[in-house]
Each structure stands twice: as structure tokens, then as C-alpha cells.
Amino acid sequence: MTEGGRREMTFLLAGVERRVLQALADRVPRTIRSNHLTAIGILGAAGAGGAYALTRSAARNGPSTAITSIMSSTRSRPPSSDSVSACRRT
């Protein structure tokens, strides 16, 4: 930062970033402030963290109930122990 709080944009993509940021700023309604964008970012990060936690939980505890119920309705039932023992006798 320089005096007055202005950013020095001297890196390779500075020109592209300046144009993109200006285009985005022009499209954001005036009623939206930086605090609103911060809140959206926090909600997005919390959502991503929650999804990651659910993924880790599903890997540890097996598939979710919804997936299990879908799979069990499309899969044929395994043979009962009586039919398995009957096959072994023949």
C-alpha cells in the first residue's frame, strides 16, 4: 500500500485485474456495500466447509441414507440363507 491507502498494481496481470475489477464494480448495485460482500464470502466459506465435513463423515460412516435407499430399491435382494444352503446341497 502507498500513502493514502491506494494499491500499487505492478504485477504481470495488473492491467487485466484493474479492468475486471472495474467492470465488476460497475455492475454491482449501489445498495450493496463491502460488508454485504464479506457476509456472502463468509456464508460461502461456511457452506464449503460444511460440505467438506459431510463428505468426510459420509466416507467414515458409509453413504447417506438417501443414496442407500435409492440403491436398495434398484438392487435385487441377496439370496436368503435357506436358498444358499439349498444350492450347496445340490
Helix (H, G, I), strand (E, B) or coil at 79: coil
Q: How confident is the model at residue 83 (pLDDT cuts 50, 70, 90)?
A: low
Which helix (H) or strand (E) segment holds residue 16: the answer is helix 14-27
Residue type, 85: S
Question: Cell triple for residue 63?
Answer: 453413504
Taking only the tens place, the pLDDT of each residue in 26-66 is 999 999 998 999 999 999 999 998 888 877 766 666 655 54
